[in-house]
Structures are given as C-alpha cells and as structure tokens.
Amino acid sequence: MPPLYGHTGPRNRLVGAIASGRLPQALLFEGPTGVGKQRLALWLAQTLACEGRDGGEANGEPCGSCQPCRLVLSLSHPDVHWFVPLELARKGADADRQVELVEEALGEEMAARRQRPLYEPTSGLAIHGIAAIRLLLRRMALKPALGRRKVFVIGDAERLVPQTGTDAAANALLKALEEPPADTVFVLTTAAPESLLPTILSRVVRVRVARLADSVVAAFVQRELGPSAQSDVAQLVTQAEGAPGRLLAHAGASAAGGDAAGRFLGAVRAGPLRRYAFALAQQPFQARGGFTAMLDGLLAELRRQARSGGETQRLVRAISQVLEARGLAQGNVNPQLVAAVLADDLARGDAA
C-alpha cells in the first residue's frame, strides 16, 4: 500500500483524540472523490493497531514496522475489515448464501488491491447490499483476533442501499453505529454526505477531508505514477485539482479500456464465433463504465492508425461507427447488443 500523502490536520487531531482516549467510535470522513479518504481511514486503523507507536514515533504516527502495522499495510490484519461496494456476478438462493458470496467477492477485491494498491473507482452499479451488512454484523460480533480493537472501514458509504424487508439488519447496523461494542471503531467515508440516511448522519462524528496542496499532489505523481508521468507533472497536478485519485481513475480507465479494445479488435478479425462470444461476455445492462472505456480505447486506437497513414476512408467510417455506439452506451442500452452490432459493422468494413 502506498504511503498516505498530506492530511496533516486531520491526522494530528485523530492522534490527539487517541492519546486522550476521546476518539469517537463512529466517524464519517467526507470530502471530494479521490482525495484519499479511505487511505486515511486505513491509516487510522493502522494507528490503532500499532504496537510500536507508544515507544516509537514521537508524533503519534504508526511505526510502520511492527507486525500489526505490516498486516494493515498488506490488507491482511484480521481485525481491520475494509468493506467496499460490490457488484455481484452471482445471486444466492438464500440469505446465508448471499453472505457467503459477498465474503468471497470482498476477499477477491482485497486480493486485487494487494496486487494493484493504486486502485480504480468501483463500478457505478456496485453497492453495499443487505448481505454485506449481515456480514459486517457477523464480524462485529467476534472478539478481536490479534489486537484490542476491531476497525470497520466502509468506503463509499453513500452506496449503503436500504432494501424492502430488511429492517432488522438495517436497524441493527444503526444501533451498532449509535452504541458500538467497546472494542469496535467504525469509519465511514463518502464524497456525498447528503446522500446518506439522516439516521446514519446523526450517529457519526463528521471529519472533513480537504483537497491536497499542489505540492503534495506533485510528490504523489513523482513517487507513485512511474516514469511515464514525470514529463507531465505540472499538467497532472492541475488535472487532479487536489485529489490524486482522479488521476488513477483516468489512467486506470484508459489502460483497462485499451486492453479491452485490443481484445475486441482481435475478436472482430477472428470471425463471427469470436465476435459474438466477446459481445455476449459483456455484462448486460452495464453500458457505462468498463464498456464505455473499451469504446474510448477503440477510438484512441483507430485515431492512432489514422495518424499513422492508415486507410483513411475505412478508418473514418469505423470511427463514426464507434462514436455512434458510444452515444448509445450513454443511454444505458444493452452493451451485448451494441457490441455485436459494432463488431459486425467493423468486420464488414475490414472486408470491404
């Protein structure tokens, strides 16, 4: 996990609250998207878990070298539970199976974030569903496995979705936020506090997480984004607007879209079977997000070919077809159908 950049003010206040024994047990970190709220929440979890802080860092920061610190940084601490919105590919037949599926999906997401710590935003359709709440309540009932506290980080808490017939679980979560067990700390994060239920807002202490100074964003770019970003530091700092996560969203979407575009073009050239298999592999009714990023990757590749002296008439026609498909995608049509039609159009263009 990369280091936490900036946010000195909130960090100092949180360390002071811990030292005085006055840290609230239910906190809400609110601020712009990409500013580092979930990273700050994990830093707080690390601070609470650290065994070397009292005799180590004079400023109360976690030492970073003790076993609990290392476990938090590797997303492996058994008492630190990071819940993020999920978009489940499968549905459980009953409540217990749904909880199992959420636990599996959450484990897979954490494994992916260990491999790629500078993670991208979650899908626009991902939520904290009732099964996730049930899983959280189960874990809350357990005793800490390693330290003295359990910490629950609930990222993008505005995606906590009330669902009909689940009053018992929802009320249990609200009760937990109002009177958490003595060994439990909740940290919710959101870029849209106005979207949270008033009953949740009334049970948390709100902490404003502000945009970072340009100098801090520049340090992030120079240390975390690799050699390719070094020639455009000033431009990237301006683009970030104090929220370095914005850069990850853009870079991640571009990279993922480019990879998907390459696979799509390969399928187009491989014949009808491969074309339709690729189209059917698209998630139905999820035209925005990854599918749109793939279309953007296609446009970038076709424009690159045009600049390199490719067949102008064919490329212009193909670009027009992709732009039409992108317009349809913004209307949330079925991407399987759009992908199949576009693949056929592009295949006919290659054959012409």
CA–CA separation, 104 and 108 (whole Å) = 6
pLDDT at 55: 41
In this structure, of 50-64, 102-116, 233-247, the range with the lowest mean pLDDT score is 50-64
**Tens digit of each residue's pLDDT (9 = 90 or more) over 65-81:** 999 999 999 999 999 99
**Tens digit of each residue's pLDDT (9 = 90 or more) over 272-289:** 989 888 888 876 655 456
What are 29's strand-pairing partners? 189, 207
Q: How far is CA 312 from CA 167, 315, 329, in A?
A: 60, 5, 25
pLDDT at 87: 82
- Segment 239-257 shows an average pLDDT of 73
pTM of the prediction? 0.71
Q: Which of 192-206, 303-317, 323-337 has the highest mean pLDDT?
A: 192-206
Percent of residues, the chain, with pLDDT higher than 90: 47
pLDDT at 226: 81
CATH of 8-210, one of 3.40.50.300, 3.60.20.10, 3.20.20.70, 3.40.50.150: 3.40.50.300
pLDDT at 166: 52
pLDDT higher for 249 or 17?
17
**Tens digit of each residue's pLDDT (9 = 90 or more) over 102-160:** 999 999 999 999 988 888 777 766 888 889 999 999 999 999 999 999 999 999 998 88
**Tens digit of each residue's pLDDT (9 = 90 or more) over 172-190:** 788 888 888 999 999 999 9
Domain segments of the chain as ranges: 8-210, 244-351
pLDDT at 251: 54
pLDDT at 224 over 60: yes
- Segment 290-310 shows an average pLDDT of 79
pLDDT at 84 over 50: yes
pLDDT at 169: 57
Structural contact between residues 144 and 150, judged by C-beta atoms closer than 8 angstroms: yes
- Segment 17-45 shows an average pLDDT of 96
3-state secondary structure 181-244: CCCEEEEEEECCHHHCCHHHHCCCEEEECCCCCHHHHHHHHHHHCCHHHHHHHHHHHHHHCCCC
pLDDT band at 330 (very low <50, low <70, confident <90, very high): low
pLDDT band at 49 (very low <50, low <70, confident <90, very high): very high
pLDDT at 124: 67
CA dihedral 215, 219, 225, 231 (to 10 degrees): 70
pLDDT at 28 over 90: yes
163 residue type, one letter: Q
pLDDT at 284: 63
pLDDT at 188: 96
- Segment 320-324 shows an average pLDDT of 89
* DSSP string over 72-131: HHTT--TTEEEE--B--SS--SSHHHHHHHHHHHHHHHHHHHHH-SSPPPPPTT-BB-HH
Burial of 123 (0-12, 13-18, 19+ CB in 10 A): middle
Contacts with 221 (C-beta within 8 Å, 6 or more apart), sequence order: 229, 233, 236, 237, 240, 244, 247
CA–CA separation, 279 and 284 (whole Å) = 10
